[in-house]
Structure formats: structure tokens, C-alpha cells
Structure 1
Amino acid sequence: MTGSSLWLLPPKDHPLHKILTTLLHETLPTRFPREAASSPRVVPHFFPTHITLTNGIVPESTYGADEGGAQGGAQAWLDSIPFPSSSSSSTTDTAGGDGEGKGVKVKVRFEKVVSQDVFYRRCYVKVGFEGVKELAGVARAVGVLGEGVDVNAESGEVKFGEKTEAWLSSWQEEFGPHLSLMYGNEPVLDGAVREVRRVLEDAGLRLSESEIETVEGAGGFDGWDGGVIWLVPTDKPISEWGTPIATREL
């Protein structure tokens, strides 16, 4: 993958942090060893739970490429980005998270399990666009497009330039925000997609589109609010993606 990326991760103290890590590193590779690897002869690709906000960040034009001072420069750069503020990172309960965390601008909400014939989108959970639109737009505008972002100091409303608006539109149409489950070259057939959905629900995830009826009050998480931003060296091997260059809590 070209350049560095900005990821959104669940808050460290959110139950989904542990649930999703177990799913990605243990449950799914065990249940779907063929689909979770690039080929039958390759072990599964392990990576942190994340939603990619943007990739293609060039260090030389953003946080600096000098190895000696890159980390400090990267943290300062990440801290300077005008991301939407988040006053809470509370857990999302069976009521859908509409009570706790009201007013939080970043809301990750799970929709459905999807598979595409692309290595990095082999199997993922589609995420609601509006809940992360501003976060991703700011990440793209500042990190890749070099376009200004207008943030209203009172309302917090974000206005994007023409290039960023065009990117958001094409991003949403092509695949949009998603939580990666498996990378690989092997097709994930429809039957496997349905089985992945069942595995996720058994682990405690609630998807907005599901063949399994969720009993009201039965528990589970339909997403999270807020989170942690990681700056990740995605131009390096996947095995190195677990060590961020810089991080920032929302």
C-alpha cells in the first residue's frame, strides 16, 4: 500500500476493543483459514482492529521523512489536524447508543458484512457513512489533498473544499468506511459471508442488516463513539502495522 494511513480504532476501554481483536486474530483465522490468508500456503494476515480514514499520506510533504526526528514530527502533525471533537467515548449498549455519548461527532455504526474482490477488502463490516464522514474528510483534506478545512468554532460544523467533497462522494460510492475483517486473495463465497456474520453476532456484534433477528434487550454492540487515531506506516509489511508512528485520542 502506498504511503502512510490514518486509522480510527475503538477506545482502549471499550468492550469491542477486546472482542474485535479476538475475532481478527483468533476466531476468524481459525474458522476461515483459506479466506484469511493470501493463499493456502500463507498464514493469515494479522492487523489491528481499524477503520481506514485515508491512505496515501506522503511523509515528505506532511510529517517529515527524516528517521531521526520523524516520530516527534509525526506526533506534532497529527495533533495539529482539526479533527471533530469528541467529548465522550462511551460504550454503545443494546439501545443503540442513542442515550450515552449524545453530541459525540464520531459515531461508528455497523451495517453489514461485505466481500469484494480486492486484497485489502476481501471481507469487512460496512460502517455508516455519516458517523465518520467529517473525520475521514478532514484526514483526506489535510493528509493527502493539501486542502484547507473550515471548522465553525461554535457549532463545530466542518466545511470541505471541492476536492475533498469529490473524494468523499467517490469513496462512499466505491466502498466507503469499513472495518476490515480479513485480507487475502481467496474468494469469500456467499455462504462464508453469512457464516462470518453469524460468528460476529455470536461474539456480541449487532449489525443493522442481518438474517438473524436480534431480540430486544438481548445485548450486543452496534458500534462505538469516539476512538483513537493511529498514523500507520502502511507502506511497510502488514506485520509492522501494529506499531503506529503516532496516536491521538478523540
Structure 2
Amino acid sequence: MPGSSLWLLPPPSSPLHSALKTLITKTLPSLLPSESTFSILAPDFFPPHMTLTSEISPSLYGDYPQAWLDSIPFPSAEDVCVRFGDVASQEVFYRRCFIRVGLEGVRAAVGIARARGVTGEEEVGERTKEWVEWWVREYGPHVSLMYGGVSMDEVKMERVAKAVEEAGIKLCADGSDDTKDASGWDGGVVWLVPTDQPISEWQPIAVREL
């Protein structure tokens, strides 16, 4: 994955943090062992997160990643709301299986992350707005559950959805953006991660609580 990324993680105190981590590192690899690559990954290298943006050039933050992260005018915690939609899959290694996230609660955080990290805008301008619309069509906000290279058919997806719900995570079954009654978290912690490194080396170089 080119460049660095900004991730939004649940607050450490959120029950979702441990529930998602257990799903990612234990439940789903056991449920679908041939479909995942987790047997060769340490759990801490793939924490539960929603990617705000990727493709950030390391030249932007240089030797001062924390100062750069602190300079981004993210919305306040009460204005960032991650709410879960349905479980989905794409034929892409990093989006093999994931939970969709409602857009409106994270739009502002995604926009300013992209503006400051990639498009070179101080605020969310036209270039960033155009990218957000493209990104929603092609990828959309989501929390990954599994990486891998094997196709996920309907039966496998149903098994994953059931495991997610058994973990106490309430989904919005139709996948719409109206996810106010679904599980999720408010605010969270932003990580700056050099995702151009091997997955085993994905560790934050700067951390900021919203």
C-alpha cells in the first residue's frame, strides 16, 4: 500500500475494541482458516480501524510525525460518529471482508485527513470533495475484518455476519447510511501508520486522541 495512512481506531475503553480484535485475530481465522492470512500475522499488526486516508507522502511529516498529526484540524470527538452498516466483501486483498460504515458520521474527518494528507488543501476544498465522492463509490468507509485472496461467497458471508452479531455487534442489515441504531463508536484515536511497509511492521509513528 503506497505511502502512509491515517487510521481511526475505537477508544481503548470501548467494548468494540476488544470485540473486533477477537473477531479479527481469533474467531474469523478459526471460522474460515483457508480464507485468511492471519495465521502468519501477529494480532497487534492489524488492530480494528477505519482508514481515513492512505497515500500520504512521508515528506509531509518528515522527522516530526507527531507535530504534523497534531496540526490537522480534525472535528471534535462529539462530531465523529462511526456506525456500522452490513458485512461486505470486495475482490481486493485488503478489503476481502469488512463492515461498512455510515458516511455522514465520518465525512468531516475523512475530508480533512485527505485534504491535509494528500490533496494539499488547508481545508476541504473542491479537489478533496471530488475525491470523497469517488472514494465513496469505489470503496467507502469501512472496518476491515479479514485480508486474503480467496473469494467470499454468500455462505461464507452469512457465517461471518453471524459471528459478528454473536460478538455483540449490531449491524444495519440493509447497508444503508441510516445506521444510528447500529453498533459503533464516537470520537476515537487517530494513528499515523507507514503502510508502505510490510504488514508485520504496521505500527503507529504518531497517535492522537480526538
TM-score by length of 2: 0.92
The residue that corresponds to 2:61 in the other structure is 63
Partner AA of 1:164 in structure 2 = T
SS at match of 1:11: coil
The residue that corresponds to 2:183 in the other structure is 222
- Distance in 2 of aligned mates of 1:126 and 1:221: 11
- Distance in 2 of aligned mates of 1:30 and 1:147: 44
The answer (yes or no) to whether the contact 2:41–2:200 under 8 Å persists in 1 is no
The answer (yes or no) to whether the contact 2:50–2:143 under 8 Å persists in 1 is yes
Structure 2 residue corresponding to 1:164, chosen from 128, 144, 159: 128
- Distance in 2 of aligned mates of 1:193 and 1:75: 39
The answer (yes or no) to whether the contact 2:85–2:182 under 8 Å persists in 1 is no
Matches within 5 A, 1:104-143: 104-143=78-117
User: How many corresponding residue pairs?
Assistant: 202
The residue that corresponds to 2:73 in the other structure is 82
Moved over 6 A (4+): none
SS at match of 1:34: helix
The residue that corresponds to 1:175 in the other structure is 139
| Cα-to-partner distance string for 1:200-237 (whole Å, 9 max, x where unaligned) | 00000000116xxxxxxxxx961111100000010011
TM-score by length of 1: 0.78
- Distance in 2 of aligned mates of 1:194 and 1:172: 24
| Cα-to-partner distance string for 1:159-194 (whole Å, 9 max, x where unaligned) | x21100000100111121000000111111111011
The answer (yes or no) to whether the contact 2:3–2:55 under 8 Å persists in 1 is yes
- Distance in 2 of aligned mates of 1:12 and 1:45: 19
The answer (yes or no) to whether the contact 1:6–1:230 under 8 Å persists in 2 is yes
The answer (yes or no) to whether the contact 1:53–1:140 under 8 Å persists in 2 is yes
- Structure (1 or 2) with the larger CA radius of gyration: 1
The residue that corresponds to 2:32 in the other structure is 32
Partner AA of 1:246 in structure 2 = A
* Deviation of the 1:35 alpha carbon: 1.4
* Deviation of the 1:43 alpha carbon: 3.4
Question: What runs of 5+ residues in structure 1 fail to find an aligned partner?
Answer: 65-69, 87-103, 150-159, 211-219
- Distance in 2 of aligned mates of 1:209 and 1:167: 27
- Distance in 2 of aligned mates of 1:135 and 1:80: 14
* Deviation of the 1:44 alpha carbon: 5.7
- Distance in 1 of aligned mates of 2:40 and 2:9: 24
Question: What runs of 5+ residues in structure 2 fail to find an aligned partner?
Answer: 175-180
